[in-house]
Chains A and B, each alone.
Chain A
Amino acid sequence: MSGRELISKKELLELTGISYGQLYRWKRKQLIPEDWFIRKSTFTGQETFFPRELILSRIDKIINMKEDLSLDELADKLSPYSYDLNLRKDEIIKRNIVSSVVMERFAARDPANTVYAFEQILFLYVADRLLQDGAMNLDEGELLLSVLKEHFPKFEGKACELIFIRKMGVPVFALVSMPAELHFESGAKVVARVPLAECAERLKLMLT
């Protein structure tokens, strides 16, 4: 998950077979988020790079979907968070989007017909995944959810990453905007880095 490999614009065009015009057009239509355009100086001058995995999967998606949808419709579909998706609690459990253990622990008080917003499902989904990886225990899950609830809205839909560090067994959660470079002292162990935009996208595919 940590491998934020970059791909240059030229390489990207060769790999995907799209043209400069298409790339700029999609950027105008906001199909490709602004912060994926990373400008770096190279020996030939300024060049633009993209996060490799993100851009390749995004372009693949655009090419596959643009047959049936107009670009504007596509833009709505691709925007990572502001997606109009709500799901009832019993359905989340039934479709196994979030495991029942997590739901029981963190949402036991809500009745079965509570409707969750996409954001809430995302938080539970992230917690669920970290728990299933064995990276986190249930008590820490509580901490994670409160961090997400408090700080995630501050990013206002911009891409951000969840970082989970542990030092001497003490868990620390942080949210950083992407792309960011972080270095830690040697005693701290980075347990997990979760790019939330990617998580949201995966979750969205599960829901639709």
Chain B
Amino acid sequence: MEQDNRPDLNINGVGSAAGGRYRQLTIHGVGKLAGATVSDSFMVNGQVKTDGDVRTGRLHCNGHMVVGGGLSSGEARIDGMVRVRGGMNGERIYVNGGLHVRGDCEAETFQSNGWFDVEGLLNAGEMEIRIQGKCAAREIGGERIRILRGGAGGFKRLWQRIVPKLAIRLTADTIEGDDIELENTTAAVVRGNRVKIGQGCAIGRVEYRSELLAHPQAKIEQRVQG
């Protein structure tokens, strides 16, 4: 068997490193990675910026991360903020904070409890989104899509009126899936098999196959079955 002689990479404090193949990549503090990295695990506590692609088995970001290329990981847990210049894909993506993806974002499971902005297609088999801020995607597609608004206390609600970024709303051009449940969502077109439109929604056109449940306060301009 070939010997595994990949090194670990640790940055404590401020430092920078080249890209390459690593076993474990850990950054406590401020780090900069030049070039693409491939690793088993990628852990950020603090801040990191990379020039190239990041491929890893497990990503955990507590803090701020900027990826210059694409991001691909088995499991990604974002407790903080991640910005990806390219596309992102993974088995499971959990967002507790913020995520910005310039390209498409694909995962088998996508759970978000925060805000995100996907400029391309957000494609996940199982999607559960609790909107805690301004969420946006050009297109959303998947098997099961649940978009619910997150909880908001009195003060938070006050702030939301003042700062638009905090407004609890998800916007998308199209949402397509088998099982769709929406709240506080603005979309031009929603297409699905079973569709449930909850309160706070403004939908241009709903196309459904078997079932449509709409909240009386939801705004739907056009309903089409077929």
Contacts and interface: CB of A to CB of B under 8 A. Distances in A.
A and B part of one assembly = yes
Size class of B's contact patch?
Answer: 20 to 34
Contacts of A24: 123, 125, 141-143, 176-177
A25 B143 contact: yes
A22 B123 CA distance: 11
Contacts of B184: none
B174 interface: yes
A62 B215 CA distance: 38
Contacts of B142: 20-21, 24
B101 to A, nearest CB: 15
Contact of B205 (A23, A28, A44, A46): A44
B189 A44 contact: yes
Given A20-B141, A24-B141, A27-B123, A46 B174 contact: yes
Contacts of B178: 19-21
A25 to B, nearest CB: 6
Interface string B81-112: 00000000100000000000000001110000
Nearest to B176: A20
B192 A20 contact: yes
* Secondary structure type dominating chain A contacts: helix
A44 B142 CA distance: 21
Contacts of B191: 10, 20
Nearest to B222: A44
A36 B173 CA distance: 20
A45 interface: yes
Given A28-B106, A45-B174, A45-B188, A21 B123 contact: no
A80 to B, nearest CB: 20
B199 interface: no
Interface centre among A21, A25, A27 (most CB of B within 10 A): A21
B174 A28 contact: no
A55 to B, nearest CB: 16
A21 B205 CA distance: 19
A45 B141 contact: no
A45 B176 contact: no
A45 B173 contact: yes
A86 to B, nearest CB: 25
A45 B189 contact: yes
B26 interface: no
A48 to B, nearest CB: 8
Given A27-B123, A44-B189, A45-B188, A21 B106 contact: no
Contacts of A23: 141
A20 B177 contact: yes
B193 interface: yes
B123 A46 contact: no
B174 A19 contact: no
A85 B59 CA distance: 36
A31 to B, nearest CB: 13
B72 to A, nearest CB: 12
Top 5 A-B pairs ranked by shortest CB distance?
A21-B143, A21-B178, A24-B141, A20-B176, A45-B188
Interface of A: 10, 19-25, 27-28, 44-46
9 contacts: A10-B207, A20-B141, A20-B142, A21-B125, A24-B143, A28-B89, A28-B106, A44-B205, A46-B173
